[in-house]
Amino acid sequence: MDGINFGLDNFLTQTQSPVAVFSFFFTLVLCGITAYVVKEIYTRFGSALSNRRGFGNIFVPLALTTMIIITIVKSSLALSLGLVGALSIVRFRAAIKEPEELVYLFICIAIGLGFGANQVTITIIGVIFIIFAVAVTKKSISKTENGNVMYLTLSKEPPQKLQIEELISIIESNSLEVDLKRLDDSNSINEVSFIVSFANKDDLIQLRENLIKLDENIQITFLDNTQIF
């Protein structure tokens, strides 16, 4: 029995192969470049209304960190078990407000996993396919979008509150389509965002005037949905 226990302990502690420094550095650079490309794709083609460039800045560190972790633990069962134990007591609290943000985070984690496991070719092919799918999807959406589709953001300085029901009623009566994208209502921010479409620019001007009539203190922002970077 002691021999079995000794063998198991030896297996857990000694089954770690060395990592070639040059190969690791080369793969790390490729991982960073790939994650940076994904960041640029997200910044240019993403549809989130938040600061996409600021959010995209975490893509490269996230992918590199994931790769380093996988590279360290992949050849050691003991380290792998230690990683599972460490992650079981960590609680992450990230303000992910839109599903698209979560999707891109998973893409970056997948990049780190792929490069960390030395699956460089498969990872690069997968990322290229994802970029191609994003470009095709964006192009197909652009063909069907009306030229008068705008992002509309309404906000007020706290502690003032937005009259949400009245605002939606006015927007619906002065536009072709209305899609509520985000509602932030707290002690520090009071903001609501829509995607709205108009038959012509005159309807946009009329909507602005009606919103001001409802509330003179409201802050109104119209943004062309094709010019967000």
pLDDT in tens, 71-103: 877 766 555 655 555 555 455 555 556 777 888
Containing 183, the helix (H) or strand (E) segment is strand 177-185
139 and 173 in a single domain? The answer is no
Q: DSSP character for 95?
A: -
Q: Look at 104-108, 138-142, 187-191, 221-225 and tell me which has the smallest mean pLDDT.
A: 138-142
Q: Is the pLDDT of residue 10 over 70?
A: no
86 and 124 in a single domain? The answer is yes
pLDDT, position 229: 36
Range of the domain at 178: 149-224
44 and 127 in a single domain? The answer is yes
pLDDT-derived band at 35 (thresholds 50, 70, 90) equals very high
163 and 189 in a single domain? The answer is yes
Supply the Cα-derived Rg of the chain in whole angstroms.
25
135 and 38 in a single domain? The answer is yes
pLDDT-derived band at 227 (thresholds 50, 70, 90) equals very low
Contact 127, 38 (CB under 8 A): yes
Percent share of the chain, pLDDT over 70? 73
CATH code of the domain in which 204 resides: 3.30.70.2690
229: in domain: no
119 and 163 in a single domain? The answer is no
Looking at per-residue pLDDT, the higher value among 27 and 144 belongs to 27
